[in-house]
């Protein structure tokens, strides 16, 4: 059987479930997913030589990490060409490029420090998303930034937040594509804190001050990311899930759900329907926690499938900002990017090929036996054929690792 026949067979099998694989494929081709630049260099960035902190950690010493902006951009090119569908690029403020010019501290970053990225994006028709960097910096004092009791520390980071929003507005203007600015602050305590409300009050006031500087909602959307704990911040985080949803709801921000940021048995998939009911927009950081917020490469597993299923079934594909977030230094970093992106795309395609209409009708008719059986049977439908057809139409090979191995041999192995 050639690919065409294989796919036609799969298409007819899916039609028996009322699923149109043609519209699934076409729909997914237009769905953007934002690629995190920080997988390529282990979240080091270009604006400091210090170690990664803020409760996140990259482990592994696989050779070939990008050391310069040029190397990181070349690696992104290599990765993106193997990713099916529309990719956006997600930058962190610590990826500012100063070149021969003077360096600027985080509170004085300006759009021109990202000119090289804007050129890179424009030449490739990529949209840019942005993240202020509230970690790996000496002004992260005693584990706190915007919630610090020290006004000087808070003010520094308030200025950082404001200049990051300006930079993202500049991206949107230059590229003609709206930019998502995501705020994640690592603030928290290792020890059980005596005062739990004070830091949250200061955090809210600092965020208020950033938002008071204003932004153009046609150019940027602002999201807020919560977290349950971090390394060295085990007992308390300031921007907890409740803080995030309450603050976002009251200030028109987009709540961002990172599936590594909850208790291990808590399901982000189950939060999505409620979030989509009460918010115009939601945002996701798709990752793979292994026992803790360990940011492993995404795999095509139950968790990611459930996240994709709820996003699609709840009509959220147009309303969710989708992004990847993980950093693994123990494997080829380009392979990590590509494998993770493909796993999430696969999950989205799987969700688009789910017999939702039939299953939901069974649910409403209290025909739970039929609902159970159809949602079991669909699992063995010939999904591989639909995935391969999707890759073919997206112009990328189904079998991509040989290309990455070749790049490793030619390019990465020269970096030591
Ligand atoms: C950290 C958050 C955050 C970071 C990136 C680098 O736990 O998930 O999104 O991973 O900003
Ligand atoms: Zn995240």
CB distance 286 to 323 below 8 Å: yes
Q: What's residue 106's pLDDT? A: 98
Residue 19 in this model has a pLDDT that exceeds 80: yes
Q: What's residue 251's pLDDT? A: 98
**What total number of domains does the chain contain?**
1
- Residue identifier of the C-alpha nearest atom 2 of ligand 1: 184
**Which tokens hold the place of 89?**
């690029």
In a domain, 394, yes or no: no
CB atoms near residue 397 (< 10 Å): 14
- Residue identifier of the C-alpha nearest atom 10 of ligand 1: 325
Ligand 2 centre to CA of 227 (Å) is: 8
pTM metric for this prediction: 0.97
The crossing angle, in degrees rounded to 10, of helices 302-313 and 356-364 is 80
Residue 298 in this model has a pLDDT that exceeds 80: yes
Could you identify the atom of ligand 1 that is nearest to the CA of residue 43?
6
- In the predicted model, what is the mean pLDDT of residues 344-357? 98
Ligand 2 centre to CA of 225 (Å) is: 7
Ligand sitting nearest the alpha carbon of 182? 1
- Residue identifier of the C-alpha nearest atom 1 of ligand 1: 56
In a domain, 369, yes or no: no
CB distance 257 to 284 below 8 Å: yes
In a domain, 389, yes or no: no
For residue 76, CA distances in Å to 72, 83, 164 come to 6, 11, 22
CA atoms within 13 A on the CB side of 96: 26
CB distance 374 to 17 below 8 Å: yes
Ligand sitting nearest the alpha carbon of 324? 2
Sequence length of the chain is 416
d(CA 105, CA 343): 37
Ligand 2 centre to CA of 14 (Å) is: 35
Q: Domain holding 63: CATH number?
A: 3.20.20.150
Could you identify the atom of ligand 1 that is nearest to the CA of residue 225?
9
Give the residue from 164, 167, 181 showing the smallest Cα distance to 90: 181
CB distance 169 to 163 below 8 Å: no
Q: What's residue 3's pLDDT? A: 87
Read off the pLDDT band of 324 (50, 70, 90).
Answer: very high
Rounded to the nearest integer, the mean pLDDT of the chain is 97
In a domain, 73, yes or no: yes
Q: Tell me which residue has tokens 């520390």.
A: 153
In a domain, 187, yes or no: yes
Chain segment 109-154, per-residue pLDDT in tens: 999 999 999 999 999 999 999 999 999 999 999 999 999 999 999 9
Ligand 1 centre to CA of 242 (Å) is: 18
d(CA 272, CA 267): 9
Active-site residue set:
184, 225, 227, 258, 261, 285, 293, 295, 325
Residues with CB under 6 A from ligand 1: 38, 43, 56, 131, 184, 225, 227, 258, 285, 293, 325
Q: What's residue 1's pLDDT? A: 82
| Ligand 1 pocket: which of 35, 56, 230 to mutate (most atoms within 8 A of CB) | 56
| Ligand 1 pocket: which of 136, 260, 285, 340 to mutate (most atoms within 8 A of CB) | 285
Residue 416 in this model has a pLDDT that exceeds 80: no
CB distance 255 to 223 below 8 Å: yes
Give the residue from 255, 227, 236 showing the smallest Cα distance to 192: 236
User: Could you give phi then psi for residue 80, rounded to 5 degrees?
Assistant: -60, -35
Could you identify the atom of ligand 1 that is nearest to the CA of residue 133?
11
In a domain, 17, yes or no: no
- Residue identifier of the C-alpha nearest atom 3 of ligand 1: 184
CB atoms near residue 274 (< 10 Å): 12
- Residue identifier of the C-alpha nearest atom 5 of ligand 1: 325
In a domain, 110, yes or no: yes
d(CA 135, CA 141): 10
* Bridge partner residues of 233 (DSSP): 230
d(CA 408, CA 231): 32
- In the predicted model, what is the mean pLDDT of residues 302-328? 98
Q: What's residue 145's pLDDT? A: 98
- In the predicted model, what is the mean pLDDT of residues 367-374? 98
| Ligand 1 pocket: which of 225, 231, 323 to mutate (most atoms within 8 A of CB) | 225
Ligand sitting nearest the alpha carbon of 38? 1
**Which tokens hold the place of 127?**
């949209």
d(CA 146, CA 253): 17
- Domain region containing 326: 33-352
């Amino acid at each position: 059987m050639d690919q065409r026949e294989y796919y036609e067979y799969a298409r007819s099998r899916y039609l028996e479930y009322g699923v149109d694989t043609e519209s699934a494929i076409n729909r997914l081709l237009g769905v953007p997913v934002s690629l995190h630049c920080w997988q390529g260099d282990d979240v080091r960035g270009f604006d400091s030589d210090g170690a990664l902190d803020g409760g996140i950690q990259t482990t592994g010493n696989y050779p070939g990490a990008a050391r310069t902006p040029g190397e990181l951009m070349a690696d992104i090119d290599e990765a993106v060409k193997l990713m099916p569908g529309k990719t956006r690029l997600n930058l962190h403020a610590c990826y500012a490029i100063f070149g021969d010019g003077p360096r600027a501290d985080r509170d004085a970053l300006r759009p021109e420090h990202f000119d090289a990225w804007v050129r890179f994006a424009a030449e490739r028709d990529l949209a840019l998303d942005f993240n202020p960097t509230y970690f790996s910096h000496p002004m992260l004092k005693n584990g706190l930034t915007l919630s610090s009791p020290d006004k000087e520390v808070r003010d520094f980071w308030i200025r950082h937040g404001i200049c990051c929003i300006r930079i993202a507005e500049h991206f949107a203007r230059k590229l003609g594509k709206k930019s998502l600015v995501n705020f994640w602050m690592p603030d928290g305590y290792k020890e059980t804190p005596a005062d739990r409300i004070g830091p949250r009050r200061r955090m809210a006031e600092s965020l208020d001050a950033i938002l008071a500087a204003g932004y153009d909602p046609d150019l940027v959307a602002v999201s807020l990311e919560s977290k349950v704990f971090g390394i060295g911040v085990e007992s308390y985080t300031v921007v907890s899930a409740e803080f995030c949803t309450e603050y976002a709801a009251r200030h028109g921000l987009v709540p961002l759900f990172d599936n590594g940021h909850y208790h291990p048995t808590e399901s982000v998939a189950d939060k999505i329907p409620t979030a989509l009911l009460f918010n115009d927009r939601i945002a996701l950081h798709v990752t793979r926690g292994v026992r803790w917020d360990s940011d492993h490469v995404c795999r095509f597993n139950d968790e990611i499938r459930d996240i994709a299923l709820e996003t699609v079934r709840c009509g959220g594909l147009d309303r969710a900002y989708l992004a990847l977030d993980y950093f693994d230094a123990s494997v080829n970093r380009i392979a990590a990017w590509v494998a993770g992106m493909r796993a999430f795309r696969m999950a989205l395609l799987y969700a688009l090929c789910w017999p939702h209409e039939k299953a939901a009708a069974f649910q409403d008719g209290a025909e739970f036996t039929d609902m159970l059986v159809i949602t079991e049977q669909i699992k063995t439908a010939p999904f591989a054929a639909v995935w391969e057809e999707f890759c073919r139409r997206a112009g990328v090979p189904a079998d991509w690792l040989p290309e990455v191995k070749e790049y490793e041999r030619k390019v990465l192995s020269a970096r030591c």
